[in-house]
Structure formats: C-alpha cells, structure tokens
Amino acid sequence: MTDGQAADDRSMRVSLWGTRGSIASAGPDTVAYGGNTSCVEVEGRDGTIVILDAGTGIRRVGDTYKEPRRIDILLTHLHMDHIQGLGFFAPFFEKDFEVHVWGPPSTTEGLRARLSRYLSPPLFPVRLRDVAARLELHDVPREPFEVGGLEIDGDVVIHPGQTVGYRISDGAATVAYLPDHEPALGANGMPTDPAWTSGHDLAAGADLLIHDAQYTADEYEERVGWGHSRISDAVGLAQMAGAKRLVTFHHDPAHDDHELDRMVEDARAMATDGLEILPGREGAVFRA
Amino acid sequence: MAQRDVGLILMRQLASGLAVPTLIADESGDLLFFNEPAELVLGRRFDEMGYLHGGEFARSFALRDEHGDPLPEDQVPLRVAMRELRAVHRRVVFRGFDGVDRKVEITAFPLLGAGGHLTGVVAMFWERKQ
C-alpha cells in the first residue's frame, strides 16, 4: 500500500512493518493497523537500508533480504517492544550479512551488555555473541553520522530511560522518527517555545514525521509520565516544527481499528497550515 | 534558537514546579532560566531579564563570601560546578536586582547528558535568615 503520492524511484521509501506500541496485539480488531510492534524500514535513493527499531515487525523485514548485504538497525531505546524482534531477524543468522546495530549511549553499560540481557538465557536461547552475521554495535554519536547515502541525526527525547529519536535525510528529503516521546512532560501547555520543546529539532521541516500518538486526551490524563503522547501533542509538535506529513504511530494495544480511525479523524480536525495526517498502518509505504 | 538538551528541558520543567529558588545556566554559564521562588531572591522577574552572558550575570550580583570579601569570578559556585564537574555548596552574600543584600547558601551542580557531556548547570538558593 502506498500513501497515494506518485511513486518516485529516486526518493526515500519508508515502509511500516510494525506500528503497535507496548506489546504485540494481533487479532481481528487490529487487522487494519496491525499488531506488530515498532519497526520501520527506510531505503535511500542509493539502496542504503536502515531499519528503525526491532520490534516484532522486524521478523518479516528480515525475510525480504535474499542477498547478503549491509543492514543498519537504529534502536531508539531498549524497551522490549523495540528489541523483541532482534532474535528473529533472519540476517542475524546468515554469515554473509553485515549488521550494524545502533543504540542510545549509556555511561554505565555498553550496548552489547544491555542487549545481552534479553539475547541470552533464560530469556532467549541464542546469545548475541553467537549470531552468524558480522555484527557491529555502536552508540549513537552526538554528531550526525552517515550510513551509505543517508545522513542520520540521533538526539535524546523525553521518554523513560535513555531514548533517542532519529532524523534521516538523503539530501533531498527528511524523515523524522520519534515513536516513543512525551514532549508535553517538558512543557506547560505545549506547543510553546521550540527551543524548550523536546523533539523539535529532529522534526523541524520534516517531509514525513512518524510520531508517537498513543493516547486520546482523556487517556493521557491518567498516564502522564509514562513516556507517550496524546494525539493532539503529536499534531502540535508537527505543526510547531513545520513538518509536512504526520504519521500516527505506537498505537495503544487497547485501541482497535475503529478507535484508531476515530483518533486520526480527530487529528485531521486539529491540523492546520496544510499538515497532512496519515494513519500509521502496518504495511503502509510512503515516499519522502 | 536551537532546541535545548532534553536534560535542560526537563530540569526547567522541574524547577518551575519547585518551591526552592532554582536557576539554570547552559554549558557556557549563560543564564537560561530561574523559577518564581528565585525571582523573590534575585529581586527581578525572569521575564524582565534580557539575555545575560554568564560572567555578566555573576558580576551583576556583587557576590561576596560569608566574611564580606568579594568573591572572585572563578570561585562563583556555578563556575566551579561547571569547571570541575562536581557539586558545590557555599555561603555567599549578594545584592539582588532590587538592591537588597541577601545571605544565601548556594548548591550548584552540573547536568551531564546521556554520554556524560556537560549540558548545563543548576544552582539552588537557600536563604539564611540571620
């Protein structure tokens, strides 16, 4: 499925493989938006591939790579719904693949040690050190870095534990990815001042902003500090930052397809200045 | 203006909800914010402040040590916390923007980001009644 824009082979292709938050939620009520947890694949114009987060959606992505290649996985943080698919990512177990995993820095433990808490017994039968692929782990640097033809900027955002968001540009278009983000926690009555709004610079002028939109306004009142956004804050940030299109993401596991459709309609009613609201459905493909 | 570090954003939000007078400066020592309780101590509302470079800000208070001797700029708690990346606690006397001399204890500490880098510095003021 595409977003209806003219497909341009020279533009970035952004594929949603998992859009659900917190826990995988497959079932008859979640067919349209999907049940897999966070995973987005970005393919640059030069064929560079980066995968944003390794929720359960990454299992199907892995199955699409038939030939050995380099793949970069950019983790926003290490909550289970963002790493649970790592152990089921087929290229991990192919010796001719080169997999680079990037994650938020920590002053206490390296990324390998933190990921190994999950990828080791008793939680998982295969240890991280036993994967067949050539595996390299990286802390996300403070400065922008390049992967193939993509420039990537990772910056810390408001979410419990060390969490980054990403801004990916190919020189012509920009995609911003902030799947778990609670900017309202750092601002009274946002949107207010861009300089004091978490995530602003990552989202500024983005052609496509994929952003946490987990809660309705009523739900958020009971969940302040849990690290997620009410959909109105996602719209507010997108407009403040001048993003062109907002993709709703990290859907609450309790929300069925009808509820999510209602939330998207609410967001569309709030949006002004030409901001386009797009439902973040598993299987959707966007061009940026 | 570029977006501030998330640690500073959250610190400002926390400070705005505290009863303890609290001031936040960036990694260069330039003033970013002080809360309403600090307005009473410093003698001016934050919204009335213009941009103040770190050195200017410290000098505008004519800081003295507890014996009344002028405090060199490099011994101002904010400066020490920033330079030595450690918490500092010190008794000082200063003259507020309202011209009133106040005796306070200052606790200053650096804010270090996820990678351990300095993002700013915080000072909390504890007014001494005598």
Chain segment A161-198, per-residue pLDDT in tens: 899 999 999 999 999 999 999 999 988 777 789 999 99
- Residue boundaries of the structural domains of chain B: 6-127
B7/A198 Cβ within 8 A: no
Chain CA centroid to CA A159, Å: 13
Residues pairing with A248 in the sheet: A211
Q: What does the pLDDT read at residue B129?
A: 74
- Provide the 3-class DSSP secondary structure of residue B58: helix
Amino acid at position A163, single letter? T
Token pair 């009808």 is found at: A258
8 Å CB contact of A196 and B113: no
Q: So what's the pLDDT on residue A10?
A: 64
DSSP string, B72-119: PGGGSHHHHHHHHTS-EEEEEEEE-TTS-EEEEEEEEEEEE-TTS-EE
Contacts of A156 in chain B (CB under 8 A): 5-7, 113-114
pLDDT at residue B50, as a whole number = 76
Looking at residue B53, its pLDDT comes to 77
Amino acid in the structure at residue A89: F
> What number is the ipTM of this complex?
0.78
A46 near B CB under 8 A:
no
Average pLDDT over residues A140-153: 97
Of A106, A107, A158, the CB nearest to B6: A158
Q: Tens of pLDDT along B80-122? A: 999 999 999 999 999 999 999 999 999 999 999 878 899 999 9
Between chains, do A158 and B16 touch, taking CB under 8 Å as contact? no
| Distance between CA atoms of residues B13 and B5, nearest Å | 13
- The confidence score (pLDDT) of residue A7 equals 47
Q: How far is A103 from chain B (nearest CA, A)?
A: 12
Question: What is the chain A residue with the closest CA to B33?
Answer: A196
Which residues, numbered 63 to 122 in chain A, qualify as contacts with chain B under a Cβ-Cβ cut-off of 8 Å?
104-107
Pairs across A and B, CB distance < 8 A: 52
**Beta-carbon separation of B4 and A201 below 8 A:** no
Q: Cα separation of A158 and A208, whole Å?
A: 20
**Pairwise CA distance, residues B98 & B40, whole Å:** 10
Residues 6+ apart with CB under 8 A from B67: none
Contact A185, A225 (CB under 8 A): yes
**A6 vs chain B: nearest CA distance in angstroms?**
34
A157 touches chain B (CB under 8 A): yes
Superfamily of domain B6-127: PAS domain (3.30.450.20)
Domains (range + CATH), chain A: 13-287 (3.60.15.10)
Check residues A107 and A224 and name the one with the higher pLDDT: A224
Cα separation, A156 vs A38, whole angstroms? 18
Evaluate whether A177 touches A76 at the Cβ level (below 8 Å): yes
Are A197 and B3 in contact (CB < 8 Å)?
yes
Percent of chain A with pLDDT over 90: 91
Q: Residue A62 to residues A1, A67, A159: CA-CA distances in angstroms?
A: 19, 11, 28
Average pLDDT, integer, range B52-66: 81
For the segment B38-50, what is each residue's pLDDT rounded down to a tens digit?
999 999 999 888 7
Whole-number Cα distances in Å, A192 to A37, A200, A233: 31, 11, 11
Note the pLDDT tens digit of each residue in A12-41: 999 999 999 999 999 999 999 999 999 999
- How far from A145 is each of A5, A76, A155, B126, CA to CA, in Å? 29, 15, 12, 44
Q: Give the residues across from B31 on adjacent strands.
A: B25
Where b means 16+ CB within 10 Å and e means fewer, A153-187 reads bbbbbbbeebbbbbbbbbeebbbbbbbbbbbbbbb
Q: Which of A139, A196, A237 to mutate to test the interface with B (most CBs of B within 10 A)?
A: A196
> Which of B1, B13, B114 is nearest residue A186 as measured by Cβ atoms?
B13
Name residues whose C-beta falls within 8 Å of residue A51's C-beta, 6 or more positions apart in sequence. Answer: A39, A40, A41, A42, A58, A61, A71, A72, A73, A74
Cα–Cα distance, A1 to A86 (Å, whole number): 25
- The tens digit of pLDDT for each residue in A101-122 reads 999 998 888 999 999 999 999 9
> φ, ψ for residue A201 (rounded to 5)?
-70, -30
A253 touches chain B (CB under 8 A): no
* pLDDT on residue A258: 98
* CB-based contact, A161 to chain B, within 8 Å: no
Binary contact (B12, A185; C-beta < 8 A): no
Rounded to a whole number of angstroms, the distance from the CA of A156 to the nearest CA of chain B is 6
Q: Provide mean pLDDT across the span A43-48.
A: 94
Lowest-pLDDT range, A139-148, A184-193, A247-256, A266-275? A184-193
The contacts of residue A28 (CB under 8 Å, 6+ apart) are none
Q: Is the pLDDT of residue A252 over 50?
A: yes
A107–B3: do the CB atoms touch at under 8 Å? no
CA distance A78 to chain B (A): 14
Assign residue A133 a region (left: φ > 0; alpha: ψ between -120 and 50; beta: otherwise): beta
Chain A residues with beta carbon closer than 8 angstroms to that of B5 = 156
- Measured between CA atoms, how close is A194 to chain B, in angstroms? 6
Q: Which of A104, A107, A200 sits opposite B3 (nearest CB)?
A: A200
* A 178-237 → B contacts, CB under 8 A: 185-188, 194-201
Q: Does A256 have pLDDT greater than 80?
A: yes
- Whole-number pLDDT of residue A9: 61
Is the predicted pLDDT of residue A232 greater than 60, yes or no? yes
The pLDDT value recorded for residue A229 is: 97
